[in-house]
Amino acid sequence: MCPIFVVHEHHASRLHYDLRFEMGGVLRSWAMPKGPSMDPSQKRLAVEVEDHLLEYADFEGIIPKGQYGAGPVLIWDRGTYELEQMGEDRILVVLRGEKLEGGFTLMRMKGKGPPNQWLLVKRKDGREKPGWQLIPELTQERLASLAEREPPCQMG
């Protein structure tokens, strides 16, 4: 059985997207200010954050005010992935999602910045979409359908 990935659209203090991969019994997670892209020319910052419980993959709702990450969270994309290569500074995956598909590379940024900063890049594999634009999915109707709820407890 292939492991899962999910991308949450998270309207916290600022809109960002959370990319999560099922790895080792948890969801390894990266916060992405601009979200993923299907355009190989768009390198996207991905800041590695704490692992989340697997149950978080199905979470949608409004995290109550006063809590970490308060605001609406919805599933923007999900699917399965194949891990092609995993190293300390580079992760290669093939995504099979509803919106994201094909090869992607996560590479740790080198230099003087924090060690948790990575770049996510769509690889050229015939499934890339030059000029592709990410479209947020939170509409007033979707917001009205979300209930205020506690997310699954975070790890650590």
- Does any domain span residue 150? no
Answer for the pair 25, 54: CB distance below 8 angstroms, yes or no. Answer: yes
Mean pLDDT by 10 residues, the chain (156 residues): 95 95 96 98 96 94 90 97 96 98 96 87 97 92 85 63
pTM of this structure? 0.92
Please count the structural domains in the chain: 1
| Domain extent for 62 | 4-145
What pLDDT score does 129 carry? 97
- Does any domain span residue 153? no
Count of CA atoms in the C-beta half-sphere (13 A) of 29: 20
- Does any domain span residue 71? yes
What pLDDT score does 146 carry? 87
What pLDDT score does 20 carry? 98
